[in-house]
């Protein structure tokens, strides 16, 4: 059997950096810590990523691509089950790069590229949620006045963006630990989807209540 090619150093650096950022928060992780964790010299790290911002920007680009692929599926949502799966999948992507949301305001204040790119990503989330609402409307799953689409979509995007911050405030010592992932993501998806409860047709609303009960067990 042929041996697998070793991962490139640049990729290993990104994976380790993401893990450390998620565990400790970006402001608490230095390039010295990253190189020590990898067992490489600081010079080797700087050869691939000459500044910490380049690590952050590279991780954000990976996140941007992963999330963009998922957002493109929003128009295919036709019922509560589809919406639940879509929103939970969004939260899974957010969780994978949770350091961005944990330290969002700090990161944006220090990184101009991230500031502008995150605004574009926020707009893409809003378009995707509006697309999801449109798909649900065309399928007859929701009855939503056209004037309510924009504020409803905005409310859902706010919850998507700041849910992990809320979880962190509730339990700073444990909220963003890996063992908390599933419960945090399910609560997030549930609360985002419940924004639609008043507009769902009766059978879909009943299905939503059933999903919520099932995931709370």
Q: Is the pLDDT of residue 171 over 90?
A: no
Would 55 be classed as within a structural domain?
no
Residues 42, 146, single domain; the answer is: no
33: CATH: 1.10.10.60
pLDDT in tens, 97-106: 999 998 888 8
Residue 125: inside a domain: yes
Q: Are residues 131 and 202 in the same domain?
A: yes
The tally of domains found in the chain comes to: 2
> H/E element holding 139?
none
Considering the domain architecture, whether residues 201 and 180 belong to the same structural domain is answered as yes
Indicate whether 188 and 159 sit together in one domain: yes
User: Using a CB cutoff of 8 Å and minimum separation of 24, what contacts does 202-211 make?
Assistant: 204/79, 204/80, 204/141, 204/142, 207/79, 207/80, 207/81, 208/80, 208/84, 211/80, 211/81, 211/84
pLDDT band for position 5 (cuts 50, 70, 90):
very low
Domain boundary pick from 50, 74, 90 = 50
Q: Is residue 193 part of a domain?
A: yes
| 34 and 141 inside one domain | no
Judge whether residue 71 has pLDDT over 60. yes
My answer on whether 78 and 30 are in the same domain is no
Banded model confidence at residue 206, pLDDT cuts 50, 70, 90: very high
Answer yes or no: is 2 within a domain: yes
For residue 142, list its beta bridge partners. 200
192 assigned to some structural domain: yes
CATH number for the domain harbouring residue 82: 1.10.357.10
Are 106 and 7 in a shared domain? no
pLDDT band at 139 (very low <50, low <70, confident <90, very high): very high
Q: Write out the residue range of the structural domain in which residue 2 sits.
A: 1-50
**91 contacts 163 by C-beta, under 8 angstroms:** yes
Residues 38 and 136 in one domain: no
Q: Are residues 187 and 85 part of one domain?
A: yes
> Does residue 149 belong to any structural domain of this protein?
yes
Percent of the residues in the chain that have a pLDDT greater than 70, as a whole number: 94
The answer on pLDDT for 1 being more than 90 is: no
* 3 pLDDT above the threshold of 80: no
* Whether residue 194 sits in one domain with residue 114: yes
Question: Would you say residue 88 lies in a domain?
Answer: yes
């Amino acid at each position: 059997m042929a041996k697998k090619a070793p991962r490139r150093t640049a990729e290993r650096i990104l994976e380790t950096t993401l893990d450390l950022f998620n565990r400790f928060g970006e402001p608490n992780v230095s390039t010295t810590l990253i190189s020590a964790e990898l067992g490489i010299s600081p010079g080797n790290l700087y050869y691939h990523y000459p500044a910490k911002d380049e690590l952050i920007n590279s991780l954000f680009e990976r996140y941007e691509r992963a999330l963009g692929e998922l957002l493109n599926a929003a128009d295919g949502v036709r019922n509560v089950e589809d919406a639940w799966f879509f929103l939970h999948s969004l939260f899974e992507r957010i969780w994978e790069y949770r350091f961005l949301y944990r330290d969002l305001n700090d990161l944006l204040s220090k990184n101009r590229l991230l500031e502008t790119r995150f605004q574009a990503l926020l707009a893409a989330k809003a378009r995707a949620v509006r697309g999801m609402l449109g798909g649900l409307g065309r399928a007859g799953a929701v009855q939503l006045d056209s004037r309510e689409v924009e504020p409803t979509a905005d409310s859902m995007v706010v919850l998507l963006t700041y849910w992990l911050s809320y979880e962190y405030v509730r339990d700073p010592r444990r909220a963003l630990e890996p063992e908390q992932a599933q419960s945090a993501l399910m609560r997030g998806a549930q609360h985002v989807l419940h924004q639609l409860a008043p507009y769902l047709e009766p059978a879909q609303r009943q299905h939503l209540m059933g999903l919520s009960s099932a995931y709370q067990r």
